[in-house]
Structure 1
């Protein structure tokens, strides 16, 4: 037994794993030989463990726990104290222990152990390799704990390892909380140029998507220019990508840089410049003997180019292209939702009647994940489009004096803005509802009051969150 004294007062004894095992054997009147058969541990090894002649290995601990009919991980807190606090940490035990904690989702144990290890910087490479192993295995929670600890310990080192930790934390940190995403994206941008080149193109691509969903169009333009330069240099020097270097063919990043620049120009109301970018990402004459993967990219950008030409003309007031645009999207399932978002925006801007369009595509008013032939669309981008669609539909029907339908869409937009912590969306929803409040039913007003109280609560929480990053 180990007794802890505090201020001269004797406390309850802290039992060791060996104490628990000895008590179990006595209580069950079980011999070491019988427990050896039950646990699968050699009887000699068990004797040495009980006599404190050898430490308990991770596999042996799990077998002892199972043989005692206890829950997996039952002794892990005691194991930390015995093997890592009161004994020199040994990676032969540390590594397997962290693996098991990740499997059992015992994150508190992982935190306790890595806190103990930070005094010895020689463990950093081992912890980083383990974090990468967890990341690629989809064990994101334990990976985050390791990345955060490594990043904190290396924050003054300016290393590639630090940059990669920050990249992983950026990717894993993005959620449906737009305010939090802004802080995370701004933090990671500082590290993107320090990444190993093989990660930079994807990192820039993902940063562009994050800032686009936040409507930071100047930042989108800046990062798109950087992506175009880096991707073009890579293509000129290396040609077609190697499989392990990037997620997509190099030509994707060049074309995507033009696409993002065009999108930034479009949202800044520079439609002529946006159309010029369309011609750049629709031109693939510079691609040298495209292979099958590159042709998939080329065809997708050709499709986007055709759709964006229609949308840019609509936004410039050329509504005569709408029938052609509708015909175009009618055969392209993955283009209908983004097209609908922009058609509603254009209709509101120019007071055009699109009732027939909304009736035909009413099923797209509910949230759905989006994808295309290249892959899944960023959730942050889809969230932003959806909240704009709801607000746009609300505006459209309110302008037509269809107050019940319009205010329901406004409340839906406010509700979803709350869900994704979109401050811009919240302000837009509140402004629309207040403008038409006199036409709201008692039920709608009550729903609105409930949402407003949630907005106030969220703002208080976000103020605390923002302070923690300062």
Structure 2
């Protein structure tokens, strides 16, 4: 049942009487100026804010969200909406789980299409506060209620939903790419850079090399245009503009590597090995430049190994150890084991050297990019053990790969691991065969 605007204040007055609090006592306990509180409670010239209501709820020992169902009349009166009160109200409703209040007020807000900006502002505030799940509901409302696909609100909402939905489920990740990709160029430039980089990363994790190449090239091109327009300092981005330019090149080189075009990849790597020309560079810019030098050196080592140069294995291992970064060690070892299988290297000493690091790789199971690197390291290691006729170790590694595929929901990779098991099935124990048979129904 709808109640009038005064009902909210009557409830508060009843609580003051119940607790025996004077107006001055309530002002003292809430920290609200007594004069302001008087005007708020009397409804004279000063409306109640959601912050006031939360402070009063705390003083009276009420749970978060107390009387929110009555607060809507502070926000909407005579069909007029108060944006300054509605936005924080929606945010607090989401934070306190008052979905009923959100549903009630949103229908009124969306009576006029122009008011979708209020929904968008609430979504952005929740997103900034780290309330991603709650913000997603508001962004979806924006998407569902804006008719103009070229609206900046639409593009940003699509982008936020793309970011929020990323996880370890490859099918959902790919679906989110498809839904967001058409809107990437409609974002403000500062978000375009971050969006293109994220698209490249997600597609890399999905091994969609054509898409990675396209987004990486767009990232490099946009960064280059902004650089030529001398907008290095003007573009408001999380990191220096040189970072986005370098990452575009890095992903271009990575795609060439995955396609087996190692010489072409080396050329691209050499381009980002020295980005000191990308001026002006402040402290953060120089730090990014130094970071790309490290990436370039590691990737040039990797390309040499992939091309069959076994003479630099120990030098490469020394370099990986000097970095003391688990993700770089994982990336390097995956390359080394893969190359060992291709070119017949013996890398037992390398694997022994990094045994402690390898035992920590399971921390990457939920990592967008490194989870697949971890899986493929394990797969290549299983193949390596079989080539060395250490069949018991090979079976153990293959079984572990199968369990990883199931945990990560990587069913295409699961089929490859199962094929490897089938090839060496005769070396498996009865227990291992029983485990394998129990998961066969998962294989497509």
TM-score range, shorter chain: 0.7 to 0.9
Alignment: residue pair count: 428
| Residue in structure 2 matching 1:133, options 111, 122, 125 | 125
Which of 345, 352, 357 is equivalent to 2:345? 352
Task: State the SS of the aligned residue for 1:238.
Answer: coil
Change beyond 3 A, Cα 1:81–1:418: farther
Q: Residue 176 of structure 1 aligns to a residue in which SS?
A: coil
Asked whether the equivalents of residues 278 and 308 of structure 1 are also in contact (C-alpha less than 8 Å), the reply is yes
1:187 aligns with 2:179: yes
Give the counterpart of 1:343 among 336, 341, 359. Answer: 336
Match of 2:197 in 1: 205
Judging changes above 3 Å, is the alpha-carbon distance between structure 1 residues 143 and 306 closer, same or farther for their aligned structure 2 residues? same
Residues 16-55 of structure 1 mapped to structure 2, 5 A cutoff: 31=17, 34=20
SS in 2 for 1:387: helix
Report the counterpart of residue 230 of structure 1 in structure 2.
Answer: 222
Which of 275, 282, 285 is residue 273 of structure 2 equivalent to? 282
Equivalent of residue 416 in structure 1, options 404, 407, 425? 404
Structure 2 segments unaligned to the other structure (5+ residues) = none
Distance of aligned partners of 1:114 and 1:420 in 2 relative to their CA distance in 1, 3 Å threshold: farther
CA distance in 2, matches of 1:418, 1:87: 57
Give the one of 263, 273, 294 matched to 2:285: 294
Q: Name the CA distance, whole Å, in 2 between partners of 1:32 and 1:252.
A: 61
Give the counterpart of 1:271 among 258, 262, 270: 262
Work out whether residues 281 and 301 of structure 1, in 8 Å CA contact, stay in contact via their aligned partners in 2. yes
Counterpart contact for 2:220–2:245, Cα < 8 Å: yes
1:122 shift after superposition: 3.0
Structure 1: where are the runs of 5+ without partners? 4-13, 371-377, 460-470
Alignment of 1:384-463 (within 5 A): 384-452=372-440, 455=442
Shift of 1:181: 0.8
* Alignment match, 1:102: 94
Q: Separation in 1 of the partners of 2:319 and 2:300?
A: 11
Q: CA deviation at 1:184?
A: 0.8
The CA deviation string for residues 302-345 of structure 1, in whole angstroms up to 9 with x for no partner, is 12212111211211222222122112222111232210111111
Hey, what's the Cα distance between the residues in 2 that align with 1:399 and 1:336? 23
In structure 2, C-alpha distance between the alignment counterparts of 1:438 and 1:17, rounded to whole Å: 81
Question: Which whole-Å deviations, capped at 9, do the CAs of 1:243-293 have from their partners, x for residues lacking one?
Answer: x61222222222222211111011011111111111211243633464332
Asked if the contact 1:17–1:75 (Cα under 8 Å) also holds between the matched residues in 2, the reply is no
Report the CA distance between 1:418 and its aligned residue.
Answer: 2.7
- Show the counterpart of 1:468: none
- Given that residues 17 and 79 in structure 1 are in contact (C-alpha distance below 8 angstroms), is that contact kept between their aligned partners in structure 2? no
3-state DSSP of counterpart to 1:191: helix
User: Partner of 2:389: helix, strand, or coil?
Assistant: coil
Residues 179, 421 of structure 1: 8 Å contact kept: no
| Conserved 8 A contact 2:276-2:289 | no
Question: Is residue 355 of structure 2 the alignment partner of residue 367 of structure 1?
Answer: no
Contact 2:40 2:48 in 1 (8 A): no
Query: Residue 81 and residue 171 in structure 1: after superposition, are their counterparts in 2 closer, same or farther (change >3 A)?
Result: same
The 1:209–1:107 alpha-carbon spacing in structure 2 relative to 1, beyond 3 Å, is farther
Q: 1:151 to 1:354 in 2, by over 3 A?
A: same
Give the 3 Å change call, closer, same or farther, for CA 320–107 of structure 1 in structure 2.
Answer: farther
Matched-pair contact (CA < 8 Å) for 1:179–1:422: no
Structure 2 residue 290 is matched with structure 1 residue 304: no
CA apart distance, 1:92: 5.6
Cα pair 1:80 1:113 within 8 Å, conserved: no
Cα distance change on mapping 1:239 and 1:62 into 2, 3 Å: closer
SS at match of 2:361: coil
The residue aligned with 2:251 is: 260
Q: Is the 8 A contact 2:88 2:122 kept in 1?
A: no
Question: For residues 35 and 65 of structure 1, what CA distance do their matches in structure 2 show?
Answer: 14
The DSSP-based 3-state class of the residue aligned with 1:269 is coil
CA RMSD of aligned residues (A): 3.7
1:96 Cα deviation after fit: 3.6
